[in-house]
């Protein structure tokens, strides 16, 4: 069986996913949704997409009448995900949505409910859950090879360019670096430690209020406490380069990933030595596995569904609240 996918949003990441999907056996790009007719034309000729599988943002609800599309992959600016995912669900198609799934937990909850009601699957593009070195560290931890987990450090950031881009527009991005890149440290803290945090504290620093306007965070540091006693310390920034590192320390060993969440190759090292698992194109493996999850019609064992993404949104809500109030925020995930 093959999952027939339409991509919504033909921007830079959509393009990367389309390229990567060419190597998939179980997922095939068959349709597009875009507001730009010239892009649709290019994609049609490049990927052999028939006219009847091309939609725009006004008419894509009619996808419900198209038996040749099984799922839509939403790869648009963050603020659009909520309404677009709900419209796809109402059209009766499975949804894969890019991270962050939405701008806050309330939106995320509504998306989950809409997909449940429509009896369609909702998955979120957390590609690191398919990355071999990451999975090896999770395996080592699960099998007790690292012993009791004590501390995680997650550093995620880059120096963002063009001040006019949607990522620096609160209306479209929903926030700043935390929504975009800090979410990797949030999700990473959860999968590296293997527990859900019970509290968070956070501090924001802004050196350039001209570029990073009200509601768009430049740099946030945040800390988590976990039920087993582990703590985490994370940094999310749009104004520091070469920040792409995870470090886990435990009673019997350590694990380090650097780079940890870039497109790869990921590099990993533990107390036992270098991790030598070969590089995979993240988006290819992700789409192959997600096709399996959707087609097998069983609940995902890989933690990339809407409920898992909602936990990250609850944490994001709490981090912004912690920044605003200066208080320690308790979490119930």
Binding site for ligand NAD (CB under 6 A): 9-14, 35, 75-78, 80, 98-99, 125, 127, 166, 172, 180
Within a 13 Å sphere around the CA of 110, how many CA atoms are in the beta-carbon half? 13
> What is d(CA 287, CA 17) in angstroms, rounded to the nearest whole number?
8
Length of the chain (residues): 333
Task: Give the sheet arrangement for strand 254-257, strand by strand.
Answer: 273-274, 268-270, 254-257, 239-250, 149-159, 231-237, 219-225, 199-205, 329-330
Closest CB to ligand NAD among residues 150, 172: 172
Task: Give the dihedral of Cα atoms 269, 272, 273, 276; nearest 10 deg.
Answer: -80
Count the neighbouring beta carbons within 10 Å of the beta carbon of residue 95: 29
> What is d(CA 218, CA 216) in angstroms, rounded to the nearest whole number?
7
Closest CB to ligand NAD among residues 9, 268: 9
Closest CB to ligand NAD among residues 53, 187: 187
**Lookup result for tokens 């070969």:** 278
Task: Give me the active site residues, please.
Answer: 99, 184
> What is d(CA 317, CA 302) in angstroms, rounded to the nearest whole number?
24
Closest CB to ligand NAD among residues 80, 240: 80
3-state secondary structure 125-152: CCHHHHCHHHHHHHHHHHCCCCCCEEEE
> What is d(CA 126, CA 261) in angstroms, rounded to the nearest whole number?
10
Task: Collapse the DSSP code of 9 into the 3-class scheme (helix H, G, I; strand E, B; otherwise coil) and give the result.
Answer: coil
CB of residue 314 to ligand NAD, shortest distance in Å: 18
User: What is the H or E stretch that residue 219 is in?
Assistant: strand 219-225
Closest CB to ligand NAD among residues 169, 258: 169
**Lookup result for tokens 């593009």:** 125
Beta partners for residue 249, in sequence order: 151, 254
Closest CB to ligand NAD among residues 151, 166: 166
Residues 6 or more apart whose CB falls under 8 angstroms from that of 311 comprise: 190, 196, 333
Closest CB to ligand NAD among residues 157, 250: 157
């Amino acid at each position: 069986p093959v999952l027939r996918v339409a991509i919504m949003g033909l921007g830079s990441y959509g393009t990367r996913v389309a390229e990567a999907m060419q190597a998939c056996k179980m997922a095939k790009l068959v349709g597009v949704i875009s507001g730009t007719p010239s892009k649709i034309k290019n994609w049609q000729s490049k990927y052999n997409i028939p006219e009847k599988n091309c939609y725009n943002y006004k008419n894509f609800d009619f996808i419900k009448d198209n038996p040749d599309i099984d799922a839509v992959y939403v790869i648009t600016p963050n603020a659009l995900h909520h309404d677009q995912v709900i419209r796809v669900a109402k059209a009766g198609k499975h949804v894969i949505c890019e991270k962050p799934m939405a701008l806050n937990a309330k939106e995320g909850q509504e998306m989950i409910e809409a997909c449940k009601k429509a009896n369609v699957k909702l998955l979120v593009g957390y590609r690191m859950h398919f990355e071999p070195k990451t999975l090896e560290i999770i395996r080592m931890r699960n099998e007790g090879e690292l012993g009791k987990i004590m501390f995680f450090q997650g550093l995620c950031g880059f120096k963002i360019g063009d001040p006019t881009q949607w990522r620096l527009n609160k209306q479209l991005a929903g926030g700043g670096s935390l929504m975009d890149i800090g979410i990797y440290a949030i999700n990473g803290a959860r999968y590296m430690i293997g527990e859900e945090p019970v509290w968070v504290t956070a501090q924001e620093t802004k050196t350039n209020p001209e570029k990073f306007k009200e509601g768009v965070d430049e740099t946030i540091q945040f800390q988590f406490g976990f039920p087993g006693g582990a703590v985490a310390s994370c940094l999310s920034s749009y104004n520091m380069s070469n920040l792409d590192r995870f470090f886990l320390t435990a009673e019997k060993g350590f694990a380090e990933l650097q780079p940890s969440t870039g497109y790869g190759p990921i590099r990993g090292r533990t107390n036992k030595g270098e991790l030598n698992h070969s590089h995979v194109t993240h988006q290819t493996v992700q789409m192959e596995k997600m096709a399996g999850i959707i087609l097998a019609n069983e609940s995902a064992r890989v933690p990339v569904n809407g409920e898992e993404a909602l936990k990250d949104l609850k944490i994001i809500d709490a981090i912004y609240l912690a920044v605003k109030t200066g208080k320690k925020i308790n979490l119930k995930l």
